[in-house]
Chain A
Amino acid sequence: GQQVMQIPQYQHVQEGEDFTTYCNSSTTLSNIQWYKQRPGGHPVFLIQLVKSGEVKKQKRLTFQFGEAKKNSSLHITATQTTDVGTYFCAGQNTGGFKTIFGAGTRLFVKA
């Protein structure tokens, strides 16, 4: 079945350093979404990417969708302590309703 792999599993950074998490799907995706989950909280939607090669920015966050629509990345510039949490990618196949989440990358930021 479809799988969505995410690396790294966790990352520790010093405040001000950059952070990147990568997502790879075993199948071509219709779209990919990114969510953030704070410790003890629920996933909160960040963004959706639909087009091949698409790049979107939200302040210090940059999201990319690969040309083959099978991989994606989230890059955070100059991390802050408020960035702490787990970042999940979630992919949907064309014509399907199922959203498959990756296992997430947990980000720790040391002040």
Chain B
Amino acid sequence: DTGVSQNPRHKITKRGQNVTFRCDPISEHNRLYWYRQTLGQGPEFLTYFQNEAQLEKSRLLSDRFSAERPKGSFSTLEIQRTEQGDSAMYLCASSPTQGAVTEAFFGQGTRLTVV
């Protein structure tokens, strides 16, 4: 499967615990995005990487959230001291830099439930 891969698919954690999600983008894609989606809403932008550089970060990404893409390939999103309000689907997307169309290819997402 050469699509965007996210792990784990589901995560249940207790409030206050730390969680880390992984995203493996399509191999030739330099751009990588993290979004958060809650029921009935559109994906909400969290952060953007071009290769290993984190070029933009939403104000929604509080100091409890951190994302990395150390070698410009896979990326991780960590949430520290989780809160119930963090419960959501976390989506990763990647897109190529070549061409005028910046189509984003989404992964299946990681569904986080904080209890």
B42 to chain A, nearest CB (A): 3
Q: Kindly state the interface size class of chain A when it binds its partner.
A: 20 to 34
Q: Which of A33, A42, A50, A98 contacts B103 (CB 8 A)?
A: A33
Q: Would you give the 0/1 interface string for B3-46, flagging 1 where the beta carbon is closer than 8 Å to chain A?
A: 00000000000000000000000000001010100001111110
User: Is B42 a contact partner of A98 (Cβ separation < 8 A)?
Assistant: no
User: Is A45 a contact partner of B41 (Cβ separation < 8 A)?
Assistant: no
B59 to chain A, nearest CB (A): 8
User: Is A42 a contact partner of B109 (Cβ separation < 8 A)?
Assistant: yes
Given A33-B103, A42-B109, A104-B41, the answer on whether A98 and B58 have CB atoms closer than 8 Å is: yes
A residues whose Cβ falls under 8 Å from a Cβ of B: 4, 6, 31, 33, 41-45, 48, 50, 88, 90, 92, 96-104
**Known A45-B104, A97-B50; 19 more pairs at CB < 8 Å:** A33-B102, A41-B108, A42-B91, A43-B43, A43-B93, A43-B104, A44-B106, A45-B105, A48-B101, A48-B103, A88-B43, A97-B48, A97-B55, A98-B48, A98-B58, A99-B45, A101-B42, A103-B40, A104-B40
